[in-house]
Amino acid sequence: MNIDYLKEFVILADTGNFSRAADALFVSQGTLSKHIQALERELDVSLFHRTTRRLELTEDGQTFLSYARQISRLQYEYQSALYHSRQKKQSSLTLGSIPVMAQYGITDIILLFGRSNPSFRVQVMEEESTALKRMLREGKCELAFIREDGADESDFVHIPYVVDTLAAVCGPGSRLNHSDGIRLQELKKEKLLLLKEGTLLYTLCMQACCDAGFVPSVSYTSHRIENIIDLVSKDMGTALLMYRQAAYYAGNAHISVIPVLPPIETRIDLCYCKGHTLSPIAKHFVSCVSICQEKSAAPSVNHEGIH
């Protein structure tokens, strides 16, 4: 069995899309399809349902996935060890990221990458998504974790990383803090606390409220999520943040994190410029992200708020 095919299967399972998986693997869609078919023949099972718009795992595919992940991770680790035993000089990667690295497990990936690759150095630059896109285009960073805004930007390769959903964050005295889910219309008379104007999430929240039929009463904005959480915990208003952003602080503050219904999603992708040939260190980082996908995937929200 070709072990590389297992890694390709894992990434295809995570993306649910041949085009995106091929971009992450630096192969053509046709080559990827042939490899998956060869793997299925060897295993004598069907790994994917191919009748839906998005590829979905079969029951056999679900069973096989956890084993394929373990083997792919071991492959990454031994390939890294062998590479760095021969490497005589240090290489560096400039990585861009939105400023929520801990909440989305990005810091864990950088830590794993650094420990597994002692001759690689990663320089991280934190910016908002709009600035990161500009930096990629200007060659100031090679890869970047970017929160997507739905714009059709064909000059980037997008490797899916994680999906998150909008949530209301309520203080201990809030009338809403025992809800299983909140519709935006319920926040019409609330004082809202948002991330700073000019951020993608500020724009998302303002547009979502307008779509729900009201202009929100915004009493405070900040670039610092911990300040927003602190004010909420003191019943100074209700915040609109992404679920994982808020849940990260839920254990240390008297807050309730409640999903907004119907769900409003954003996606974080690892991006690079289309047509740009990635350096060996950048390709290796993409592989590291792929094997960490299971840990960093967004938690399934069962519409019961975190209290």
pLDDT value at residue 152: 67
One-letter-per-residue 3-state SS of 34-99? HHHHHHHHHHCCCCEECCCCCCEECHHHHHHHHHHHHHHHHHHHHHHHHHHHHCCCCEEEEEEECC
Could you say which of 3.40.50.10860, 3.90.1170.50, 2.40.30.10, 1.10.10.10 is the CATH number of the domain covering 1-86? Answer: 1.10.10.10
**Whether the domain at 1-86 and the domain at 163-265 fall into the same CATH topology:** no
Q: What whole-number percentage of the chain has pLDDT above 70?
A: 90
Which CATH number fits the domain 163-265, given the four candidates 3.40.50.300, 3.30.470.10, 3.30.300.30, 3.40.190.290? 3.40.190.290
| Residue-wise pLDDT tens digits, 185-237 | 999 999 999 999 988 999 999 999 999 999 999 999 999 999 999 999 999 99
Residue 38 pLDDT: 93
Can you give the residue ranges of every domain in the chain? 1-86, 163-265
Whether 249 contacts 223, CB under 8 Å: no
> 124-151: per-residue pLDDT in tens?
999 999 999 999 999 999 999 999 877 7
38-56: pLDDT as tens digits? 999 999 999 998 776 678 8
pTM of this structure? 0.76
Across the range 240-269, mean pLDDT stands at 90
